[in-house]
Structure 1
Amino acid sequence: MQTYWQNFIDADWADGGAGRAGVVNPATGAVLAEQAMADAADVDRAVQAARRVHESGVLTDLRPVERGRMVQAMGRYLLENRDEVAETLTLEQGKPLWEARREIENAARYFEYYGNQAETLEGRSIPLGGGYVDFTQLEPYGVSAQVIPWNFPLEIAARSIAAGVAAGNACVVKTSELTPLSSAYLARAAMAAGLPAGTVNILCGWGHEAGAALVSHPGINQAVFTGSVETGIAIARAAAENVVPCVLELGGKSAAIVHEDADLDAFEGDIRRGIYTNAGQVCSAMSRVLVHESLHDEVIARACAVAGALSVGPGVDRTEPGQGMGPMVSEAQRDRAAAMVAEAERAGARAATGGRAMNIPGAFLEPTVMADVTPDMAIAQDEVFGPVLSVIPFRDEAQAIEIANGTRYGLVAGVFTRDLDRATRAARRLRAGQVFVNEWFAGGVETPFGGYGRSGYGREKGREALLNYVQTKNVAIRTR
Structure 2
Amino acid sequence: MAGAEVVKNYIDGEWRDSSSGGRIEVDDPSNGETIAVVAEAGPEEVHLAVAAANRVFRDRVLIDMHPYDRGQMLFRVADALEARSEEIATINCIETGKALDLARGEVRTAIRYLRYYAGLADKLEGRSIPRGAEFVDYTVRSPFGVSAQIVPWNGPLELMARSLACAIATGNSVVVKSPELAPLSGVEFARACETAGLPAGAVNVITGYGQTAGQALIEHPDVRHIVFTGSTATGRTVLKAASERIVPCIMELGGKSAAVVYSDADLDAVVDAVRIGTYLNAGQNCNNLTRLLVQRSIADELLEKVKVCVEGLTVGPGRENCDLTPMISKKQRKGVTEACEIALLEGARAVTGGAALSERSGYFMAATVFADVTRDSNLFQKEVFGPVLAVTVFDDPATGIELANDTDQGLAAGVFTRDIDRALWCADRLWAGQVYVNGWYVGGVETPFGGVKQSGYGREKGQEALDGYVQTRNIGIRISPPSSGEGSRAQSRTVTRDQGPSQAIALSDLVQP
Shorter-chain TM-score bucket reads: over 0.9
Is the contact made by 1:97 and 1:315 (CA closer than 8 Å) also made in structure 2?
yes
Match of 1:436? 436
Given the alignment, which residue of 27, 31, 39 partners 2:30? 27
Match of 1:371? 371
1:174-230 deviation line (CA, Å, top 9, x unaligned): 011100011111111111222101011000111111000000101011000000111
CA distance in 1, matches of 2:304, 2:361: 29
CA distance in 2, matches of 1:142, 1:61: 13
Question: Which amino acid in structure 2 is aligned with residue 350 of structure 1?
Answer: R
TM-score by length of 2: 0.92
CA distance in 1, matches of 2:476, 2:33: 62
Equivalent runs, 1:4-23 vs 2, <5 Å: 4-18=6-20, 19-23=22-26
Match of 2:41? 38
CA distance in 1, matches of 2:5, 2:377: 45
Match of 2:386? 386
Match of 1:104? 107
Q: CA deviation at 1:381?
A: 0.7
Match of 1:454? 454
1:18-51 deviation line (CA, Å, top 9, x unaligned): 4101111110011111110111111010000001
Match of 1:49? 52
Counterpart of 2:398 in 1: which secondary structure?
Answer: helix
CA distance in 2, matches of 1:306, 1:64: 49
- Residue 226 (str. 1) matches residue 225 (str. 2): no
Question: Which amino acid in structure 2 is aligned with residue 169 of structure 1?
Answer: N
In structure 2, stretches of 5+ residues that fail to align are: 481-513
Equivalent runs, 1:151-162 vs 2, <5 Å: 151-162=154-165
- Residue 296 (str. 1) matches residue 299 (str. 2): yes
Q: How many residues align?
A: 476
Counterpart of 1:91 in 2: which secondary structure?
Answer: helix
Q: CA deviation at 1:3?
A: 4.2
Question: Which amino acid in structure 2 is aligned with residue 13 of structure 1?
Answer: W
Question: Which amino acid in structure 2 is aligned with residue 256 of structure 1?
Answer: A
Equivalent runs, 1:347-358 vs 2, <5 Å: 347-358=346-357
Match of 2:336? 337
1:422-463 deviation line (CA, Å, top 9, x unaligned): 111111211111111111111201111111111011111111
Counterpart of 1:202 in 2: which secondary structure?
Answer: strand
Is the contact made by 1:86 and 1:100 (CA closer than 8 Å) also made in structure 2?
yes
Match of 1:312? 315
1:363-384 deviation line (CA, Å, top 9, x unaligned): 0001111111111110111001
The structure with more radius of gyration: 2
Aligned CA-pair RMSD: 1.0
- Residue 397 (str. 1) matches residue 397 (str. 2): yes
1:320-343 deviation line (CA, Å, top 9, x unaligned): xxx622100001111110111111
CA distance in 2, matches of 1:81, 1:324: 25
Counterpart of 1:221 in 2: which secondary structure?
Answer: strand
CA distance in 2, matches of 1:70, 1:306: 45
Counterpart of 2:184 in 1: which secondary structure?
Answer: coil
Q: CA deviation at 1:17?
A: 2.9
CA distance in 1, matches of 2:391, 2:308: 14
Equivalent runs, 1:54-65 vs 2, <5 Å: 54-65=57-68
TM-score by length of 1: 0.98
Match of 2:207? 204
Question: Which amino acid in structure 2 is aligned with residue 222 of structure 1?
Answer: H
- Residue 257 (str. 1) matches residue 256 (str. 2): no
Is the contact made by 1:3 and 1:32 (CA closer than 8 Å) also made in structure 2?
no
Counterpart of 2:370 in 1: which secondary structure?
Answer: strand
CA distance in 2, matches of 1:239, 1:398: 39
- Residue 244 (str. 1) matches residue 243 (str. 2): no
Match of 1:422? 422
Counterpart of 1:385 in 2: which secondary structure?
Answer: coil
Counterpart of 1:301 in 2: which secondary structure?
Answer: helix
Q: CA deviation at 1:153?
A: 0.6
Q: CA deviation at 1:164?
A: 0.5
CA distance in 1, matches of 2:93, 2:443: 25
CA distance in 2, matches of 1:466, 1:449: 12
Question: Which amino acid in structure 2 is aligned with residue 31 of structure 1?
Answer: T
Which deviates more, 178-187 or 300-309?
A: 300-309
1:372-407 deviation line (CA, Å, top 9, x unaligned): 111111011100100001111111221111110111
CA distance in 1, matches of 2:77, 2:265: 42
Which deviates more, 371-380 or 123-132?
A: 371-380
CA distance in 2, matches of 1:311, 1:73: 38
CA distance in 2, matches of 1:314, 1:99: 12
CA distance in 2, matches of 1:310, 1:81: 31
Which deviates more, 411-420 or 11-20?
A: 11-20
1:54-94 deviation line (CA, Å, top 9, x unaligned): 11112111111111011122122212211111111111110
CA distance in 2, matches of 1:331, 1:79: 32
CA distance in 2, matches of 1:124, 1:459: 22
Match of 2:495? none
1:144-165 deviation line (CA, Å, top 9, x unaligned): 0000111111111110101110
In structure 1, stretches of 5+ residues that fail to align are: none
Counterpart of 2:256 in 1: which secondary structure?
Answer: coil
Question: Which amino acid in structure 2 is aligned with residue 71 of structure 1?
Answer: L
Deviation >2 Å, runs of 4+: none
Question: Which amino acid in structure 2 is aligned with residue 196 of structure 1?
Answer: P
CA distance in 2, matches of 1:250, 1:274: 17
CA distance in 2, matches of 1:291, 1:317: 34
Which deviates more, 14-23 or 208-217?
A: 14-23
Counterpart of 2:58 in 1: which secondary structure?
Answer: helix
1:263-288 deviation line (CA, Å, top 9, x unaligned): 11122211111011110000000000
- Give identity over the alignment, percent: 50
Question: Which amino acid in structure 1 is aligned with residue 338 of structure 2?
Answer: A
